[in-house]
Structure 1
Amino acid sequence: MFFDRSTRADEAGAIVVFMSPQWQTLPYSFQLSELRSNNVAEYQALIIGLQMAINMGITALEVFGDSKLIINQLLTEYEVRKDDLVPYFRLETQLLQEFETVTLEHVPRKENQMVDTLTNLASSMTLGKDEAADVLIC
């Protein structure tokens, strides 16, 4: 599972991409209700992805993210120093315990191009509260 955040001046979003062992891609895009810091948005994207994986019954998960801070905090290589990140860190820790096996790996942004492209596409397509659109992806 890949996760990423999308933040712009007036909006925030999250992208979660599940890859099957056969490399089938299941991308999901979410608009976050409030504009947050990049780190909070990254944590929120990962929370969404972990909750989805749990709901899908996935028991073994490889997690890839381009946020070195988030990955290293969850691996306990970095301390969580910002008070606003502590609740997210605690929730992530609880969610990670739901899996039989889980690995966390930092992926440099330049190697995370597919997820980054989906993130930018999703944030450019954000609709207003009363708007709707059908999007066909082939």
Structure 2
Amino acid sequence: MSKPRLLDRLARCVGAGVIFFTPQQELLPYSFSVCHNFSNNVPEYQALILGLEVATELNIHQLEIYGDSQLVINQLFGDYEVRKAELIPYHDYAKRLLQSINLVSI
């Protein structure tokens, strides 16, 4: 019996999510999945970008960012250089989105 193709494709999918906690402690969850061959940091950047886009749409001007990728966080705040060419467009877009938020802490 051959391996189902759908399962093979799902093995290359990654999911990412963003959760906003409002000042009233309400949860606003957002999630997505990507099926492509990337480094692990591409979905990390995509989750960050999703969160920043939603924050911009909701006119959020003060934001605390929590992430499990220290590489992405350190690249975002200039502590580490972005060396992989595939990450540069994500990094640049995230930096542009951050400009619309007045106060950011990590």
TM-score (norm 2): 0.83
**1:76 alignment partner in structure 2:** 78
**1:44 alignment partner in structure 2:** 46
CA distance in 2, matches of 1:56, 1:34: 29
- Between 1:30-39 and 1:85-94, the stretch displaced more is 30-39
Contact preservation (8 Å) 1:14, 1:45: yes
The total of aligned residue pairs comes to 97
CA distance in 2, matches of 1:40, 1:81: 13
CA distance in 1, matches of 2:48, 2:31: 12
- Percent identity (aligned): 49
Q: Deviations over 1:17-57 (max 9, x none)?
A: 00112322111111225342210010001101100110111
**2:88 alignment partner in structure 1:** 86
Gaps of 5+ in 1: 1-7, 106-138
CA distance in 2, matches of 1:35, 1:51: 24
Q: Which residue among 17, 20, 30 is the counterpart of 2:19? A: 17
Equivalent position amino acid for 1:52 in 2? V
**2:100 alignment partner in structure 1:** 98
Q: Deviations over 1:59-109 (max 9, x none)?
A: 111111010000001111111111111111110110000111112x2xxxx
Gaps of 5+ in 2: 1-9
Contact preservation (8 Å) 2:14, 2:43: yes
- Between 1:25-34 and 1:43-52, the stretch displaced more is 25-34
Contact preservation (8 Å) 1:12, 1:36: no
Pick the structure with greater CA Rg: 2
Equivalent position amino acid for 2:72 in 1? I
Tell me how far 1:10 sits from its aligned partner: 2.1
CA distance in 2, matches of 1:27, 1:83: 30
CA distance in 1, matches of 2:22, 2:70: 24
- Between 1:83-92 and 1:14-23, the stretch displaced more is 14-23
